Amino acid sequence: MNRRHFLSTVPFTFAAVSTAFAAAKPEDGAAKLKAIPQRMQGFVDRQVVSGAVTLVAQGGKVVALDAVGYSDLAAKKPMRTDDLFWIASMTKPLTGTAILMLQDEGKLSVDDAVEKFLPEFKNQMLLVTKTPEAIVLKKPGRRITLRDLLTHTAGLNNDVPETGRDLMLGERTLAYALQPLSFEPGSKWQYSNPGINTLGRIVEVVSGQNFADFLDARIIKPLGMKDTTFWPTEAQARRVAKAYQPGPDNNGLAEVDNYFLKGLPLTARWRTAIPAGGLYSTAADMAKFYQMMINGGAANGRRYLSAAAHQQLTRTQTGEIKTGFTDGMSWGFGFQVVKQPQGVTSMLAPGTYGHGGAYGTQSWADPKSGTIYILMIQRAKMANGDASDIRKAFQEAVGVFAH
């Protein structure tokens, strides 16, 4: 078993309140927490995943950071706790946070119409019927708002035609605006990468900065997330865990390219920074972001979000609309929120918020117990990453300690 416990020191401390992680004593919960890598190793042994990195934090302390398995099966390269992963849709909460930062500055409101910032969305129509003979459109009951985009209730069409090249954010949002809406804004939930990408473009228009530059300046660098980037350097690229999917006839694991890159170089800084899912990161970096959130929007003596903005991000904003990839979920602004714990979320408290990623990564913060859960894997073709057995096993093992 390839295992590392991170219970003795952490590379950053806090002075008074828990605005970052403090040092944790080796004996704190060690007996209970050792079950986490043991359970993860079982998934490696059964060839469900090549390897995994798990992190647990509670009360402002990293209490466990472990790596099992391999980051490269062919090379038999052991997984390390500082390996990078494509976190995919775990990027979305950072995009939501960027929008709420701009709202705190009075530069926008979540209730603003999208067309206020992106005129191409004016006169967008609603699809009524589509047949081989005709397409019937009508004017929607109202214009889409930033709130709709943040909660995946805007009705933007997900079937945007491919162009064969890497489009800039402005080009992407123009393509989204030219498509008719799939349903009346605010009437239902439909997971929407176009919606989150549109928010990223609004960040650019309102702030006057490139989206990646805004995240770097306002969230990533201030929090010390040194390995979080849309474009890993050559050195970081050597620490990116390879992705795998089931082999032929479900025999073992077969290496697979990151489909999100679409053949473009991992390190190429000319690739568009995708707000809906383009970031690479480490477990420790993501824990820094979630510790800021669980602290109410503050870290290291700096306030990133107002209390009101923090509440908007992390509390249910979708009412009784059915949302999410597992039962009992709701949506905040960019974050999923556990409304009624059940199934894979049964060990989490109501109000726990976070997000998963396409290759099975998971990041969640339980404000009731003060616990942060980070699971890093790179497994393609999972039936449902949010409802995976490995996520459930990880949270169960943490739950014994957390509660």
What CATH number has the domain bearing residue 192? 3.40.710.10
> What does the pLDDT read at residue 178?
94
Determine the Cα–Cα distance for residues 192 and 181; give it in Å rounded to an integer. 12
Amino acid in the structure at residue 52: A
Q: 163 pLDDT band (50/70/90 cuts)?
A: confident
Separation CA 393–CA 396 (nearest Å): 5
Instruction: Say if residue 324's pLDDT is above 70.
Output: yes
The answer to whether 168 and 112 are in contact (CB under 8 A) is: no
Query: Is pLDDT above 50 for 24?
Result: no
In a domain, 332, yes or no: no
In a domain, 306, yes or no: no
Which pLDDT score, from 0 to 100, does residue 243 have? 98
CA dihedral sign, ordered 141, 144, 145, 150: positive
Instruction: Answer yes or no: is 110 within a domain.
Output: yes
Residue 315 in domain:
no
Q: Residues 108, 147: contact at Cβ < 8 Å? A: no
- Residue 144 CA, chain-centre distance (Å), reads 23
Q: Is the pLDDT of residue 319 over 60?
A: yes
Residue 8 has pLDDT above 90, yes or no: no
Per residue in 40-70, pLDDT tens? 999 999 999 999 999 999 999 999 999 999 9
Query: When comparing pLDDT for 18 and 197, which is higher?
Result: 197
Is 159 inside a domain boundary? yes
Residue 403 lies in a domain: no
Q: What is the DSSP secondary-structure string of 158-188? A: S-PPP-SS---HHHHHHHHHTSPBSS-TTSS
| Contact in structure between 358 and 88 (CB atoms under 8 Å) | yes
374 and 286 Cβ atoms separated by less than 8 Å: yes
Quick check: 362 pLDDT over 80? yes
Domain count, the chain: 1
Q: Record the pTM.
A: 0.92
Confidence of residue 159 (pLDDT cuts 50, 70, 90): confident
Rg value, the chain, Cα: 21
Domain with 208 in it = 97-213
Mean pLDDT score across all residues of the chain: 92
